[in-house]
Structure 1
Amino acid sequence: MATITRFPFIRHLRGTATSHIEFLSDGRARSAGVGASFWFRPLTAAISEIPVDDRELETLIRVRTSDLQEVAAPVTVTYRFADPVQAAARVDFSIDLGSGTWREAPLETVGAMIHSAATAAVTSALTGMTLGELLTRDIVQLAEEANFLMHSDPRLAAIGVEVVGTRLAMLRPDADVERALQTPARERVQQDADKATFERRALAVEREAAIGENELANQISLAKRQEQLIAQKGANSRREAEDAAQADAVRVKAEASRAATLSETRADATRLLGQAEADAEAAKLDAYRDAGRDVMLALALRELAANLPSVEQLVLTPDLLTGLLGKLTGGTGGAGDEAE
C-alpha cells in the first residue's frame, strides 16, 4: 500500500517495490512505474495502485463426472499482473488520496474472474471421465492441463493477468460415495489384518503346542528317570538287604560254629576233667584199697576237718576227754586184736 503524506495544498505519495503506480492528472498520464514517488494535487489527481507480486487464489471447484457423480477439486492458482497498465484500464484499482487504500475491491473482482477461468479449465480437463477414472488420474498432469487452458483464456489476458501455476489437491467425491468407495479397500485391509491376526494366533498356538510337547517330553523323561532311580534304589536296597542277610548268615554261622567249637571244647575239657577226676578217684581208691583202718580213719578225720566250720573256741570237759580217751583206747586195742 502506498504511503501518502499531506502538506498544505499538496501531497506526496511514495509507492512500494511490489506495486505499480498510475498517476493521471486532468486525464493525462503524469507518472507511472513500480515504486514510484511524486507530488500531486488531490483535486486534479487520479491514482491507481496495481500489485505486481505473485499472489495465490484458493478455490473449490465441483465437477460432475460422466457417471453423474460430483467431485470436489481444490485448486490453487498462482497469478500476477503482467501488464499493470492494462489491468488498471480494465479494473478499478484507484486509491483514496487521503488514506492510500483502494476505493473498491479490485482483487475480489480479479479473483472472481480467475475462479471462473479455473472452473472452466478444470471442468474441461475432467470432462468425459467416470468417477473411477477421475480418481485414478495423475493430479499433476490434470493441473498442467488446467494451467494450459487458463493461459489461453482471453478474459484473463484482457485484464493483464498471467497465470504462473495451477495446483490441484486431492479430488474427493461426496462423503457417502467416498465411504462406499473406501469400503472394499477397508474390507481388504481388514481381511489382511484378520489374516495376519489368524496367522499370528496360529503361530502362537503352534508355539504353545510345541512348548506343551516339550514340557510333556520333559515330564516323560523325568518320570522315566524317576522310575529308573526308584528301580535303582530298590535294587540297591535289595542288594543291601541280601548283603546284610548274607553277612548275618555268615555271622550267625560263625557264631554257631564258634559256639559249637566252644561247646565241644568245653565238653572235651569237662570230659577230660571228669576223666582225670575219675582216674584220680580210681587211683585214690586203688591207694585206699591196701591202706589200713588207721590210715582210713586219719584220712576221714582230715576230710572232716577240712569240711568242718571254723571253731574259734573249743571247750573240753572232763567227760568229753574221758569218753574220747576211752574210745581211742578201746578202738586201738580192737584193731590190734583183729590184726593178731
Structure 2
Amino acid sequence: MAEIRSYPFVRHFRADASSHILYFRRGRLRASGRGLAFWFLPLSSSIAEVPVDQREQAFLFHGRSADFQDVTAQGALTYRIENPEAVAEAVDFTIDLRRGAYLRDPLEKLSSTLANLAQRHAWDYIAGTPVRKVLAEGQAQIRERIEHALLGDARLKAMGLAVLSVAVLSVKPTPDTERAIEAPVRERILQEADEAAFARRAMAVEKERAIQENELQNRIEIAKRNEQLIAQEGQNERRKATERTEAARISAEGEAERSRILGLAQADELRAVEGAKVALEKARIAVYESLAPQIVLALAAQQVAGKLERITIEHLNVSPDLLASMVTSLVGATTRKLEEPRSP
C-alpha cells in the first residue's frame, strides 16, 4: 500500500514499485506510473493505486454431472494487470488520501469476476460429463477449458487483465458418491490382494514341495551312493580276499616247489652219499673176498678189539656152545671160500 504523510495544507505520497499510480487533480490525469512519489493538495486531488504484480486467486465451486451427481472442483489461477489505466476505468481503485487504503474493494471484484468466468466454463464441462469420467479426467479437462476460455476472453483483454496459469487441485464427488464409486474398486483391490496372498501361499507351498522333493531326491541319491559304496567295498574286499588267496596259493606253490626242489636235492645228495657208501662197502667186501679166512677173522677180531676199547666189559662169559657156533661159522665160511672156483 502507498504511504501518505500529512503536513499543514499539503501531503506527501509515496508508492511501491509494484503499484501503478494514477494521480488526478481537478479531474485531470496529472501523473501515471509505477512507484511515484509527489506532493499533493488533498482537497483537489484523487489518487488510484493499481497493483501490477502477479496475483493468485483460489476458486472452489460445485457442479452437477451428467448423471446427476454433485462434484466439487478446487483450484487456483494466476493473473496480472497489464493495462492499469483500462482496469482503473472498469474498477474503482481509488484510495483514501489520509490512510492510503482502498475506498472500495477492487481486488475482490476482480477475483470474483475471474472466479465466475472459471466456474462457468468448468460447469459446462461437468454438466455434460458422467461423474466417473469427471473424476478420472476432470482435473486436466477443467484446467484446459478454463485456461483456454480465459486466455481468449475479450472482456478480460479489454479490462487489461492477463491470466498467466490455471491449476485445478482436486475434483471430488460427495462422500456418499465417493464411497459408492470406491466400493467396487476397493473390492477389486481386496480381491487382487487376496489373489496375491493366495498366489503367494501357493508359491510358498510349491516351494516347500520342491524343497521336500529335492531333499527326498538327495536322500535317494545318498542312499544310491551308499549302496554303490557298499557294493564297491564288498567288491574290494572280495578282490582283496582273492588277491590274498592267490598270493597264499602262489606262496604255497612256491614253498612246495622249493620244498620239492630241496627234497629232490636232498634225495639226490642222499642217493649220492648212499651210493658212495654202497660202493665203498662193495669195494670193502670185494677186498674181504680176496683175503684169506684167517686174515678176515683177524680183521674182525681187530674191529671187535677196537670197539672194546670204548666199551667197558666187566664180565665176559664164553660158553662152549657160543664158541662152538663161532668156530663152526668161521669154518663154514672158510670152506665156501675155498670151494669157490678161482678165476684163471
TM-score normalised by the chain length of structure 1:
0.65
2:312 maps to 1:303? no
Structure 1 segment 18-167 matched on structure 2, within 5 A: 18-25=18-25, 28-35=27-34, 36-81=36-81, 84-85=84-85, 87-88=87-88, 91-137=91-137, 139-146=139-146, 160=159, 162=161, 164=163, 166-167=166-167
Q: Report SS of the residue matched to 1:100.
A: coil
Q: Report SS of the residue matched to 1:169.
A: strand
> Residue 10 of structure 1: CA displacement?
1.7
2:82 touches 2:162 (CA, 8 Å); kept in 1?
no
Separation of aligned partners in 1, 2:58 and 2:257: 128
Residue aligning to 1:276: 277
272-281 or 166-175, which deviates more: 272-281
> Residue 185 of structure 1: CA displacement?
4.1
2:87 touches 2:161 (CA, 8 Å); kept in 1?
no
Distance 1:296 1:114, change over 3 A: closer
Q: Report SS of the residue matched to 2:135.
A: helix
202-211 or 161-170, which deviates more: 202-211
The count of aligned residue pairs is 306
Separation of aligned partners in 1, 2:293 and 2:246: 61
| Cα-to-partner distance string for 1:31-69 (whole Å, 9 max, x where unaligned) | 242324432123443322122344220111111223332
- Which segments of 5 or more consecutive residues in structure 2 lack a partner in the other structure? 314-344
Separation of aligned partners in 2, 1:119 and 1:265: 140
Separation of aligned partners in 2, 1:18 and 1:99: 19
Separation of aligned partners in 1, 2:154 and 2:136: 27
Q: Report SS of the residue matched to 1:95.
A: coil
61-70 or 4-13, which deviates more: 4-13
One-letter amino acid matched to 1:33 = S
Separation of aligned partners in 2, 1:180 and 1:38: 64
One-letter amino acid matched to 1:142 = I
Distance 1:267 1:173, change over 3 A: same
Separation of aligned partners in 2, 1:116 and 1:107: 14
Q: Report SS of the residue matched to 1:42.
A: coil
Q: Report SS of the residue matched to 1:123.
A: helix
> Residue 207 of structure 1: CA displacement?
7.3
1:61 touches 1:75 (CA, 8 Å); kept in 2?
no
CA-based RMSD:
4.6
| Cα-to-partner distance string for 1:98-155 (whole Å, 9 max, x where unaligned) | 443335543234334443443334223422432123234464443454456667697x
Identical amino acids, percent of aligned pairs: 35
263-272 or 126-135, which deviates more: 263-272
Separation of aligned partners in 2, 1:47 and 1:54: 22
2:4 maps to 1:4? yes
Distance 1:121 1:214, change over 3 A: closer
Separation of aligned partners in 2, 1:41 and 1:182: 67
Separation of aligned partners in 2, 1:237 and 1:203: 49
- Which segments of 5 or more consecutive residues in structure 1 lack a partner in the other structure? 310-340
